[in-house]
Amino acid sequence: MGKVGKRFVASYATSAAIEAYEGRMPRPANPGCVETLDAYLERLASDAAVPGGGSAAALVASFGAALTAMVARIARRNPRNAASAEALDAIVEAADSLRAEIAEARLRDEEAFAAVVAAQALPKDTEAANAARRQALDDALARAAEEPLRATALSLQVLELLEKVLEFPIQSLSSDVGSAAEFAGAALASAAYNVRINHRFMRDPDVVALQERALQEREAAVRESLARVRRQIGARDSG
């Protein structure tokens, strides 16, 4: 990692991040407690490194999944879709499940970057300590790239579900479908930035190449899917 990268990461070496890396991040007393959106945004706007762009990207993807479920549920109530109730129910179930997966992905992304911050804060005053720190940092960077990469696959799945939704008459909901598609596309683009920033500092070229290849494949698939969704919505709205 270069001097700029070191300064960037070291400047965020907060005690909370180190606690997260060591498995000591405080948990809610009530396991059923869910952080509100406002509370999350306050954390995001703070001067702490976590959450960051990868976490926010996952949240945007979850908006796409939620809208997909909403559209399918409303379409399910349409008498014109009575014969397709089972198919729409399957889309609802898949979208809800996907949203839960994305929520987990967001937390994993936060934990992964907290590990990078904590590894950067490890001592390096002896040769042995410096070697241990370097190994911890290598491991943390690899995971910090892997987590947003995994999130790109979830964003792509949101778009795949949306294309299934478009097989049904949803004229009045086309704006919601379009919004969901754009959220999914934006989430993948944002996650891609967070994959590649870690590639800059990773020392295993084979892992970087493998991740980059998967990322490019998903970026291409999302571009194609978004184009199809936009065309279909445009045709419906002008028809």
CA distances from residue 161 to 32, 97, 109, 208 in whole angstroms, order as listed: 28, 12, 24, 29
- Provide the mean pLDDT of the chain: 87
34-55 residue pLDDT tens: 689 999 999 999 999 899 999 9
Number of other CB atoms surrounding residue 81 within 10 Å? 17
pLDDT of res. 209: 97
| pLDDT above 70: residue 19 | no
| Model confidence band, residue 95 (pLDDT cutoffs 50, 70, 90) | very high
pTM for the model = 0.83
Q: What domains can be seen in the chain, in order of their start residue? A: 3-23+51-238 (1.20.120.680)
How confident is the model at residue 13, as a pLDDT?
37
pLDDT at 51: 94
* Proportion of the chain in helix, strand, coil states, percent, rounded to 5: 80, 0, 20
- Stated as kind and residue range, the H or E segment containing 56 is helix 53-77
Q: Average pLDDT in the 168-185 region?
A: 93
| Mean pLDDT for the stretch of residues 72-85 | 92
Residue 66 has pLDDT above 60, yes or no: yes
Lowest mean pLDDT among 20-24, 131-135, 180-184: 20-24
Q: What is the pLDDT of residues 186-216, one digit of tens each?
A: 999 999 999 999 999 999 999 999 999 999 9
Average pLDDT of span 157-184: 94
Rounded Cα–Cα distance for residues 176 and 64 (Å): 9
